[in-house]
Chains A and B, each alone.
Chain A
Amino acid sequence: MALLDIENLTVEYPVRHGIFTAVDDVSLTVERGEILGIVGESGAGKSTIGNAVMGLLSSPGRIAGGTVSLEGDRIDALNAAKMRSLRGKRIGMIFQDPMTSLNPLETIENQLIETIDHHLHVGTAEAKERAIRLLEQVGIADAPNRIKQYPHEFSGGMRQRVVIALALCAEPDLIIADEPTTALDVSIQAQILDLIKRLCREENVGMILVTHDMGVIAETADRVAVMYRGKLVELGDTAQIIGQPQHPYTKVLISAVPPSNKRIDRFTRVDYAQSGTPPKADIDLNTHWLGDGPARQIDGQAMLTVASLNKVFRSGGGLFGGKAQENHAVKDVSFHVKAGETFGIVGESGSGKSTIARLITGIHKPTSGEIHFNGDPLHEKPKTGEEILRRRQVQMVFQDPYSSLNARMRVGDIVAEPIRVNGTAPSTSAARTIAADLLALVELDADAALKYPHAFSGGQRQRISIARALASRPRFLICDEPTSALDVSIQAQILNLLKDLQAKLDLTLLFISHDLPVMRQMCDRIAVMRYGEIVEQSGGEAIFTAPQHSYTRSLIDLMPKFEPDRM
């Protein structure tokens, strides 16, 4: 008998026009000591399965069919009180974001003791002993003292350890982990995944690991369930799913994931999800407005030079004293980007990589140091009108496609705005035509110009952002985590698009990301940053094949390995 047996589970959400089926006829089993990965893109229904098992479906969702059994006993139709006595005691759950999963106003001790005492009725003293042991088990040093602290005194990785300790309080038989490492840096992610694997083996606990990250699945799961639009499309051993996927969607999904162990030229076109072919626009740069920009440079010349750049942020301190805090976000950073290449900056959160993008685009002023773009000093105010014109050649694509577009403007106007403001088109109607051309260039339909941003998906919005950047006829495009908010198949499309545009328009790219496999696919040269400093800088492949600095080596070591050709 399996530990958890889900049979023909169907979950429905009544919506305004009928019923939305979030999970459609899914059957799964989980054994003790086994990690079952559930993978899929956003909207696939993978989290809904976990919530349905826990009896925590958000209103008005309901289980419309099928059964869920825990060691042979049905648990899908229990009353509220019985279900609650199951939660935490027999099934534990771990959430995605450790920063928000803990009550900020209670000490770790109170939260642990409350949960332990609630389930095991052992009294406060015994509960505290257990709590300390749990914290030690999940790898928190100095547990007797740290237990008295509040959540905000722990780092993200440490908080996730506390969350795991809380889920383990009553020694559950099954743990549902919903994207447990998505909000964490690579090095912390590796530690947490190790911890999860170890606990499953040691405690003989079954686990459902819900994630969108194929790398995490490849490293952690024993078996994988692939979900697509609420349906289970394929179920099998991890090696088989990644090495020899059977279902066409799985194949598409696997081919969209950037492999960590080699560089490929392009991702295979992903079109399982889409009907119809997107418009293919071909612009003749010799005649089109877009080719009429500033003269192109010979490849290999230094286009952007950054020398001894420093940025210190000051916070706190006021009229009546109080010490100001200093945060040295960028420390003595020097690099150059050659015309026509893609230069990557990689680092974990807080390493200062995004600050560099902001310094180059003038959002922040550097504390000291120089930035030159084709000879113009970007760290100073522009002196002439011509200099301002030349600075427009630097454009930026932001991380979050949801907040970086004005929701009250039509997409056509968003793209046409830089053309109108800069006065680079002879008339408003000409600007509109150019905007339509640009939208076609990023493979959006012709009627996209008339819609508002909310009508588009994340990937489509990022295309709009790119079209808007192109509307200034840039020579130099800064992409700050351009695909971090997107599903892998969409990520593959956007990365392909960036590569195409770069080849077509001779763009120079500064690519900023935390995602090493993505960097490997995109970048000619890479700089690795830590604590505001560049620790290593070399050719894109060399970073992976022959890392010099110990930090680079540990990053490469810790990144989840996704190597379909070796499975």
Chain B
Amino acid sequence: MALYILRRVLQSFFVLLAVGLVAFSMFRFVGDPVDNLLGQERTQADIERLRDVLGLNDPFIVQYWNFLKDAVQGDLGVSFRQGRPVMDIFIERLPATLELALISAIFAVVVGVVLGVYTALKPKGWLTNLILTVSLVGVSLPTFLIGILLIYVFAVELGWLPSFGRGETVQIGWWTTGLLTGSGLKALILPAITLGLYQMTLIMRLVRSEMTEVLGSDYIRFARARGLTDRSIHFRHAIKNTLIPVITITGLQLGSIIAFAIITETVFQWPGVGLLFIDSVRFVDIPVMASYLMMISVMFVAINLIVDILYVIIDPRLRAGENT
């Protein structure tokens, strides 16, 4: 098992290097940061001097290498726009994004699995048809539209929930949390639903089709023929077998919840890293963009690794493979 994890970590390392390389080669096309940094009254000499100081005259491979060298030591560089270390900005912004992602992931998984199992067990009920129809709408509408709709209904018309921001936050060490105050929790509801809705319908439909297939399998028929109760058949034998493929997709979806928080954060003016990234793109803030992309790829790779390990824990057939 340890060897397996070590091998996967090594593989992940190369994946990260490749992602960084692609990202860096793309930054050459997003524009020249110097244009934004210096005002209208710049001279050619200013430009040259700044380019030299920032290292922008080096070939991008060298720039990439310097970035990696510093990043390993915890130094992600200084934001061109804000003039502060990127690490500080991230630490300030990350809790907001992670809390939002966590809550919407929990929402997506819990509601998705429950509805998926329900619709599989009662394939002909009226509630099933209703859920499936509504979920189709959820899949079809783009995220920002759902966000705007929710804001319109619950914030503007009904006035129940705030339409933007995090509400009051509490500082615990370097972590700022909105989970401990009433207004913070209220502010989380709409963005979390907006962000998690698509993943929820996806998980629901996946669980439903997997569960339907498992319920038709021979070992479920055999369990029935042994006279076991429906509860044991459904919730002990069927669910576990359903979860194996669901875990893979869900894992990857959690990664994209963090990555695609950009749109939701923009709609709700959520002070997280997604919003930060959008601003950085506008000002060609290369250190922030590079760090953001690397952070997202680290997360994806880590989630993948966790999914693979979960697989081995759930499925005994894979455990046998590790000895050979």
Q: Is the CB of A85 within 8 A of B315?
A: no
Cross-chain contact of B224 among A56, A103, A105 (Cβ < 8 A): A56
Q: Is the CB of A95 within 8 A of B222?
A: yes
Tell whether A100 pairs with B227 under 8 Å between CB atoms, given A152-B320, A320-B11.
Answer: no
Q: Is the CB of A166 within 8 A of B241?
A: no
Q: Is the CB of B324 within 8 A of A105?
A: no
Asked if B171 is an interface residue, CB under 8 A from chain A, the answer is: no
Q: Is the CB of B241 within 8 A of A104?
A: yes
Asked if B106 is an interface residue, CB under 8 A from chain A, the answer is: no
Asked if B234 is an interface residue, CB under 8 A from chain A, the answer is: no
Q: Is the CB of B225 within 8 A of A103?
A: no
Q: What CA separation (Å) do A105 and B242 show in the bound complex?
A: 11
- Contact residues of B with A, CB < 8 Å? 7, 10-11, 217-219, 221-229, 232, 236-237, 240-241, 314-317, 320, 324
Q: Is the CB of A103 within 8 A of B241?
A: yes
Cross-chain contact of B218 among A86, A97, A150, A170 (Cβ < 8 A): A97
Q: Is the CB of B221 within 8 A of A150?
A: no
Tell whether A118 pairs with B232 under 8 Å between CB atoms, given A103-B223, A104-B241, A152-B316.
Answer: yes
Q: Is the CB of A87 within 8 A of B324?
A: no
What distance in Å separates the Cβ of A202 from its nearest Cβ neighbour in chain B? 21
- Contact residues of A with B, CB < 8 Å? 54, 56, 84-89, 92-93, 95, 97, 100-107, 114-115, 118-119, 150, 152-153, 163, 166-167, 169-170, 316, 319-323, 325
Tell whether A152 pairs with B317 under 8 Å between CB atoms, given A89-B227, A93-B222, A102-B219.
Answer: yes
What distance in Å separates the Cβ of B316 from its nearest Cβ neighbour in chain A? 4
Q: Is the CB of A100 within 8 A of B314?
A: no
Most A C-beta atoms less than 10 A away, residue of B217, B225, B229, B236 = B225
Q: Is the CB of A325 within 8 A of B222?
A: no
- CB-CB under 8 A from B223, the residues of chain A are 103
Q: What CA separation (Å) do A102 and B225 show in the bound complex?
A: 12
- CB-CB under 8 A from B324, the residues of chain A are 316, 323, 325
Q: Is the CB of A163 within 8 A of B222?
A: yes
- CB-CB under 8 A from A87, the residues of chain B are 224-227
Tell whether A118 pairs with B320 under 8 Å between CB atoms, given A56-B221, A95-B222, A102-B219.
Answer: no
Q: What CA separation (Å) do A319 and B7 show in the bound complex?
A: 10
Q: List 5 A–B pairs whose Cβ atoms lie within 8 Å, in order of A's numbering.
A: A104-B316, A104-B317, A114-B232, A152-B316, A167-B225
What distance in Å separates the Cβ of A120 from its nearest Cβ neighbour in chain B? 11
Cross-chain contact of A88 among B221, B227, B317 (Cβ < 8 A): B227
- CB-CB under 8 A from A152, the residues of chain B are 316-317, 320
Most A C-beta atoms less than 10 A away, residue of B217, B241, B316, B324 = B316
Q: What CA separation (Å) do A63 and B316 show in the bound complex?
A: 40
What distance in Å separates the Cβ of B21 from its nearest Cβ neighbour in chain A? 18
- CB-CB under 8 A from B225, the residues of chain A are 54, 56, 87-88, 92-93, 95, 167
Tell whether A118 pairs with B229 under 8 Å between CB atoms, given A103-B237, A104-B317.
Answer: yes
- CB-CB under 8 A from B7, the residues of chain A are 320-322
